[in-house]
Amino acid sequence: MAKKLQFICNACGAVHSKWSGQCDACGAWNTIVEEAPLAASSGGKLGSAKGRKFELGRLTATDDTPERTLSGLAELDRVLGGGLVPASAILLGGDPGIGKSTVLLQAAAAFAQRGLKVAYISGEEASAQIGMRAQRLGVADADIATASETNLRDILTTLDAERPDLLIVDSIQTMWLETVGSAPGSVSQVRAAAHELTSFAKRRGVSVILVGHVTKDGQIAGPRVVEHMVDTVLYFEGERGHQFRILRAVKNRFGPADEIGVFEMTGQGLREVTNPSALFLGDRGTPPPGSVVFAGIEGTRPVLCEIQALVSPTPHAQPRRSVVGLDSGRLSMILAVLEARCGIPFAGLDVFLNVAGGLKVTEPAADLAVAMALLSAREGSSLPAETVVFGEISLSGAVRASGQTENRLREAHKLGFNAAITANQSSKGVQSAVRTTSYGDLVTLVGDMFGAG
């Protein structure tokens, strides 16, 4: 009997009975593809065949922390939560050409120098190409076993005999299993390959790093279930026009999520940046109108960055709203609050907002810095020099407190800033050499700073 075809969304993995242009589950367009279902088991219905009995144990608490291996790359170790955990599965995604293969080859060489047995399997490049990159990065002498292969069954058979400590697979979209009747890169193949490699990691005690392609929206391509299978999900971010790269943990079972590591792309590979705040503010002189320094928190690390705004009259009927490094929806909300609560309209004005250095800011504490940058650009008035700003803005116009105030102020003082503008609750009970000016609502702050409101 012929297998009945099914249709699967490449964006979310939802199954549909027939093809349509838009996925009903996630709303994505042109992501539904035809795919043959996985072969049914010979036993037929669940329960008709005997399974292997296993024993259930009682929950026991333990204070044991997982043993970790440090690579010596401090920024990578920070993002991993303190080093590489044995038998862990890690998924790394990022735009094409951003430097995923580069950072993994440098990491592989670093772990090999620490005594780990490392295997690097590439489905996209020949072994000679990997060797050329290693020569350029200066790690050609590293003890790394490399191969170019895509048949996952052959890969696992070889690795069962070799028993490496760390396996790097570049990329998961190129791997395929002959038992899955679909093309490499399809939802079924990616799901099955990720499951096999994750199971191999847990069964053999091998740490596995999988490289994943991303969609045009920046999400890892394939079913989201892959991100649930692995222990850690990392994204390698950066703008093509900037030399800075951000390695960000969005999921980590062995450490804090949202931790970042900062690298600089050079001709000899990626170089660690130990002081990101100084890097993002390195070219900053006398602050012009529209320039505000935001004291943010990325994971456990305080990071200072410059938020730039430009407001200009528009010749078009519909003003432009252009954002780089921030959520465009958050900008729309702040503009609405400034108009509704403070009486400051932005109609008929183009608004451009940018986070300098290519950093992406998702923290709500950036609201106040964005509002100050917009007002500074609109009024043509600069904020006082050596001042940092942080605080969340509510729809009522209130300025709400942000966490880790002391860490933010400490980082600001270390870089020479002596004043901060924040919420009333943020500065209570905080001892700092930085002078803080606190506000409870946006109207009072606008009136004090710009004589409006």
H or E, element range at 140: none
Please identify which residue in the block is written with the tokens 């870089």.
Answer: 415
Phi, psi of 333 (to 5 degrees): -65, -45
Enumerate residue ranges in the chain where pLDDT < 70. 1-4, 36-50, 61-64, 222, 282-284, 427-429, 452-453
| Whole-angstrom distance, CA of residue 105 vs CA of residue 201 | 20
Phi, psi of 353 (to 5 degrees): -130, 135
Cis, bond preceding 332 (omega within 30 deg of 0):
no
**Mind listing the pLDDT tens digit for each residue in 358-383?**
888 999 999 999 999 999 999 999 99
Q: At 279, list the tokens.
A: 């890097």
What per-residue confidence (pLDDT) applies to 422? 94
pLDDT at residue 348, rounded to an integer: 92
Token code pair at residue 296: 């943010």
What is the DSSP secondary structure assignment for residue 382, as one 8-state letter? P
3-state secondary structure (DSSP) of residue 160: helix
State residue 55's pLDDT score.
80
What is the rounded CA–CA span in Å between residue 430 and residue 422?
A: 12
How far is residue 257's CA from residue 188's CA, in Å, rounded to a whole number? 28
**251 Cα distance to chain centroid:** 9
Predicted pLDDT of residue 283: 66
Residue 336: which residues within 8 A CB-CB, separation 6 or more? none
Is beta strand 399-400 parallel, antiparallel or unpaired with respect to 349-355?
unpaired
Asked if residue 130 lies in contact with residue 122, where contact means CB atoms within 8 angstroms, the answer is: yes
What's the pLDDT score for residue 6?
78
Buried b / exposed e over 35-46, threshold 16 CB at 10 Å, is: beeeeeeeeeee
* Alpha carbons 434 and 261: distance in angstroms, whole number: 26
Question: What DSSP string runs through 204-242?
Answer: HT-EEEEEE-B-TTSSBSS-THHHHHSSEEEEEE--TTS
The pLDDT value given to residue 59: 78
Given this model, what pLDDT does residue 18 score? 86
**Alpha helix segments (H runs only) across 304-426:** 328-342, 367-379, 405-414
- pLDDT at 3 (0 to 100): 55
Contacts for 69-72: CB closer than 8 Å, 24+ residues apart: 69/111, 69/114, 69/116, 70/114, 71/107, 71/110, 71/111, 71/114, 72/110, 72/113, 72/114
Q: How many angstroms separate the CA atoms of 165 and 391, rounded? A: 45
| Pairing mode of beta strands 144-148, 118-122 | parallel
- The pLDDT score that the predictor gives to residue 163 is 93
- Phi first, then psi: give them for residue 22, nearest 5 degrees: -125, 140
The C-alpha angle 320, 322, 326, rounded to 5 degrees, equals: 145
The SS3 assignment for 147 reads strand
SS3 percent helix, strand, coil of the chain, rounded to 5, is: 30, 25, 45
Q: Which residues pair with 264 in a beta bridge?
A: 244, 271
